[in-house]
């Protein structure tokens, strides 16, 4: 880890096409983010992650990159992005871009050259078999669309041909090792992209599909890990304060591969999913921990999390997130009272937390047809809801021009309305984040110990000298234990203590000292 600013960082994730539209074309833009930096700072976030804003045909919402060094015209210009970096820095806000290293768009110039029958410097920058009817071993592939007699490997969707970083174990004549010239050239090309944006003011990258680079990698991802170690050496030498967060979902591997942070992702059945998204199970029941009286058990989360935490606490940060662009919003199954407790938990745990735009006002998941490869994820990518003016303040364009429709509900939550209500979800989030900034022991560094996690008892944990207690259920609960508490610094709902016990009312949360 080299980015010291992460010690008190709280990130705000922005889906650029849906945040704020300044030119009335119905699509959010870079200047819209710049205009709303004061809102983000006032919210309590001091860092941004911006989803891909590069030139793209947008078959996968920008994760199919056509030009890594050019801002997509629908968002603005490179100068607009540099101005965003500079303005954010003046306000004490760091900015991460989204790096997509595992694949490009099929329209990228590198791939267009690679498709040609005549050998050129890009022929082996992607993974090709040696015959037009040759399958790609156990990897997904496409054939019949290129001049050369070969099929090419995909990294995800059909529009995303996989860049060639080599194979850890070469088993076929068409596969290349990691030290092959083309594989090395691919690695250097991605480092060049990183340098391009870092030299213009970017503070680092969220890395898409971070574990997907080397094919036929082993269980420890040692091949892919070696590439990221090489990247980390470059960063430490040239951009020592640059940060990287991995879309990996295995901090034991990601943090050892040179990453500063790794997301705790919402894989079905994982510990994180049991907190608020335990509806994705074969019974169709919801036993999410933060859902009132749903029979949740915090130990289903802790069993995995604490193993990761103890193993990696001196190596980097585990990043908990309210949601992201790939996940159903937590408002899908939680009400405002339940969300308050969930967010209070997220922002008082160690590691670097991420807040998805709109979650702070409880934006709803919308049932919508797919847009730009979103499929079920589309409903979490709708325009930000600023006020009750046209298009909920997102855009002055026509409703038909909007990237996605805004929430049409009469009670659609907005920033303007919630700012006026001291008890709103938005103001609760602001209060929690203000507490996190005031109390160093609630920030990123590892200082966690579990006091109580027994079923039907309050979940209580210690952060240094602070004690945090949560009761997500509908009944008042008491924990009898000597904890030497002198005061309550922050609470949601009812909370009290004496020399022998802590009592938490229905759906309550407290930070005590």
pTM, entire model: 0.97
pLDDT digits (tens, 9 = 90+) for 389-439: 999 999 999 999 999 999 999 999 999 999 999 999 999 999 999 999 999
Which value, to the nearest 10 degrees, does the dihedral of the CA atoms of residues 255, 261, 266, 268 take?
A: 0
Question: With 80 as the cut, is the pLDDT of residue 284 above it?
Answer: no
Residue 467 has a CB neighbour count (10 Å cut-off) of 22
Q: Are 37 and 381 in contact (CB under 8 A)?
A: no
Amino acid 425: pLDDT: 98
Q: For the residues 105-119, what does the mean pLDDT come to?
A: 98
pLDDT, average across residues 456-461: 93
The secondary structure of residue 479, as a DSSP letter, is E
Q: What is the pLDDT of residue 487?
A: 95
- Identify the CA nearest to 109 among candidates 83, 52, 70: 70
CB 311 within 8 Å of CB 321 = no
The mean pLDDT value of the chain amounts to 96
448-512 fold:
Immunoglobulin-like (2.60.40)
pLDDT band at 5 (very low <50, low <70, confident <90, very high): very high
Q: Is 409 helix (H, G, I), strand (E, B) or coil?
A: coil
Write down the domain spans for the chain.
Answer: 4-102+183-440, 103-162, 448-512
Question: What's the pLDDT at 472?
Answer: 97
Residues 6 or more apart in contact with residue 312 via CB below 8 angstroms: 251, 252, 255, 256, 318
Q: pLDDT tens for residues 478-498?
A: 998 888 899 999 999 999 998
Q: How confident is the model at residue 371 (pLDDT cuts 50, 70, 90)?
A: very high
DSSP state of 214: S
Architecture of domain 4-102+183-440: Alpha-Beta Barrel (3.20)
* Radius of gyration of the CA atoms of the chain, in A: 24
Q: For residue 266, what pLDDT is reported?
A: 86
**pLDDT over 70 percentage in the chain:** 99
pLDDT of residue 484: 86
Nearest-angstrom CA–CA distance, 470 and 510: 7
Quickly state the pLDDT bin for 283 (edges 50, 70, 90). Answer: confident
Start-end of H helices in 8-115: 30-35, 37-43, 78-90, 109-114
Domain 103-162 has CATH 3.40.50.300: no
Predicted local distance difference test score (pLDDT) of residue 282? 66
Mean pLDDT of 461-466: 97
Contact (Cβ atoms closer than 8 angstroms) between residue 344 and residue 370: no
pLDDT in tens, 170-195: 999 999 999 999 999 999 999 999 99
Summarised one tens digit per residue, pLDDT across range 25-68 is 999 999 999 999 999 999 999 999 999 999 999 999 999 999 99
The answer to whether residue 2 scores a pLDDT higher than 80 is no
218 has pLDDT over 90 = yes
The CA distances from residue 193 to 62, 65, 199, in Å, are 16, 12, 10
SS3 for 299? helix
Supply the pLDDT for residue 1. 59
Q: What is the pLDDT of residues 75-110, one digit of tens each?
A: 999 999 999 999 999 999 999 999 999 999 999 999
Q: How many other CB atoms are there within 10 angstroms of residue 273's CB atom?
A: 21
């Amino acid at each position: 880890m080299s980015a010291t600013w992460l010690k008190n960082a709280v990130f705000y994730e922005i889906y650029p096409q849906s945040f704020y539209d300044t030119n009335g074309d119905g699509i959010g833009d870079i200047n819209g983010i710049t205009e709303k930096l004061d809102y983000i700072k006032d919210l309590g976030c001091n860092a941004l992650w911006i989803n891909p804003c590069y030139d793209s045909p947008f078959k996968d919402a920008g994760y199919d990159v056509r030009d890594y060094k050019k801002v997509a015209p629908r968002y603005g210009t490179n100068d607009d992005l540099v101005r965003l970096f500079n303005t954010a820095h003046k306000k004490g806000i760091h900015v991460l871009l989204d790096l997509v290293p595992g694949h490009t768009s099929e329209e990228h110039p590198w791939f267009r050259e690679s498709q040609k029958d005549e050998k050129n410097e890009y022929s082996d920058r992607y993974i090709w078999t040696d015959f037009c009817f040759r399958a790609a071993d156990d990897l997904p592939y496409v054939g019949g669309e290129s001049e050369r007699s070969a099929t090419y490997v995909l990294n995800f969707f059909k529009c995303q041909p996989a860049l060639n970083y080599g194979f850890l174990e070469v088993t076929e004549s068409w596969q290349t090792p990691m030290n092959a010239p083309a594989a090395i050239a691919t690695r250097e090309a991605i480092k060049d992209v990183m340098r391009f944006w870092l030299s213009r003011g970017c503070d680092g990258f969220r890395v898409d599909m971070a574990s997907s680079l080397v094919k036929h990698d082993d269980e420890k991802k040692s091949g892919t890990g070696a590439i990221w170690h090489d990247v980390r050496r470059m960063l430490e030498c040239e951009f020592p304060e640059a940060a990287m967060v991995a879309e990996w979902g295995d901090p034991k591997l990601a943090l050892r591969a040179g990453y500063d942070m790794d997301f705790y992702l919402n894989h079905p059945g994982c510990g994180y999913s049991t907190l608020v998204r335990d509806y994705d199970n074969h019974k169709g029941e919801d036993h999410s921990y933060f859902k009132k009286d749903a029979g949740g058990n915090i130990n289903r989360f802790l069993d995995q999390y604490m193993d990761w935490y103890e193993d990696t606490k001196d190596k980097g940060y585990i990043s908990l997130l309210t949601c992201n662009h790939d996940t159903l919003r937590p408002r899908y199954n939680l009400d405002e009272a339940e969300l308050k407790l969930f967010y209070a938990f997220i922002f008082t745990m160690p590691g670097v937390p991420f807040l998805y735009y709109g979650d702070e006002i409880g934006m709803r998941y919308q049932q919508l047809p797919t847009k730009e490869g979103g499929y079920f994820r589309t409903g979490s990518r709708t325009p930000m809801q600023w006020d009750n003016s046209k298009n909920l303040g997102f855009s002055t364009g026509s409703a038909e021009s909007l990237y996605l429709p805004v929430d049409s509900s009469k009670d659609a939550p907005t920033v303007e309305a919630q700012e006026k209500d001291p008890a709103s979800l938005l103001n609760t989030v602001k209060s929690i984040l203000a507490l996190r900034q005031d109390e160093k022991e609630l920030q990123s560094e590892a200082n966690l110990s579990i006091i109580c996690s027994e079923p039907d008892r309050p979940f209580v944990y210690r952060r240094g000298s602070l004690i945090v207690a949560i009761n997500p259920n509908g009944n008042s609960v008491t924990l009898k234990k000597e904890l030497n508490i002198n005061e309550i610094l922050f609470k949601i709902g009812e909370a009290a203590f004496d020399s022998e016990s802590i009592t938490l009312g229905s759906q309550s949360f407290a930070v005590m000292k």
